[in-house]
Amino acid sequence: MKLVILAVTILLAACANVHAQDVSFDNYIDGFKQKARSKGISDSTINTSFDDVYLLGQIIELDKKQPERKLTKEEYLAKVINQARINQARKLFADNKELLTELGEKYGVDPQFIVALWGLETGFGKNQGNYDVVEVLATLAYEGRRRDFFESELLSALLILDEGHISHSKFKGSWAGAMGQCQFMPSSYLAYGADGDGDGKIDIWKNKKDVFASIANYLSTVGWGSDEATKTKALMHWNRSTYFVASVFMLAGEIEHEM
């Protein structure tokens, strides 16, 4: 009997997968619009957000692409931490020291780590990505590999637009849906985004004060502390790659040498 139940379960799952593949992207979007309405997203936002949204084949390819060879930790660090990045990090820290010190004290976060994350995520704001966030997330949700995750992020993206934080035309991000100079996913923006200059908006795309405050607020909220173990834990919440965490510590350490 157990074998029969197992066989039926596998068959139903296979059928569901085939059905999902048979649904066109347009039909999938139509269904998602109904879900968004049920979550309270306005028709105006839904209509504007999904106007001219297409399935992005290159996004699916990027999501499926795997590196041919995994870098060693030493190779990874050598690739992401070079002298030019260190020099720029030190200069930008010095240029923004007053603001960074103020935010560090407010949120209880070592300010050099704010700059380190800023630098490693987007090259200090230069490499944010120029993809339409809604289009990217809709594509990845339709693809289905991590449908629940990307549908949730897509709903968060629509909420950001619905609340008027940014216009759809400026709502840009990476091929994976991460946004702004600190590369927050939409759900992280809603949970950790902070208004650094008190203007009532949270602009992680162009407003450096909001970027710094959002990074600091994120780290503080997830448990940043004074000891290295607590810092490592908070950074692992940001990015689960031990290589990435090591690179943050390394760049922060290089900044600290010049403080």
121 is known as an active-site residue: yes
Q: What is the pLDDT of residues 28-45, one digit of tens each?
A: 999 999 999 999 999 999
Catalytic residue of the set 121, 143, 151, 153: 121
End-to-end CA distance of the chain: give it in Å, rounded.
69
Quick one: three-class SS letters along 137-198?
Answer: HHHHHHHCCCHHHHHHHHHHHHHHHHCCCCCHHHCEECCCCCECCCCECHHHHHHHCCCCCC
pLDDT recorded at residue 22: 75
Q: pTM value?
A: 0.89
Amino acid identity at 42: S
For the record, the structure tokens of 184 come out as 């927050």
Residue 117 CA: distances (Å) to CA of 59, 219, 220: 25, 11, 14
pLDDT recorded at residue 68: 59
Residue with tokens 């995520």, as numbered in its chain:
121
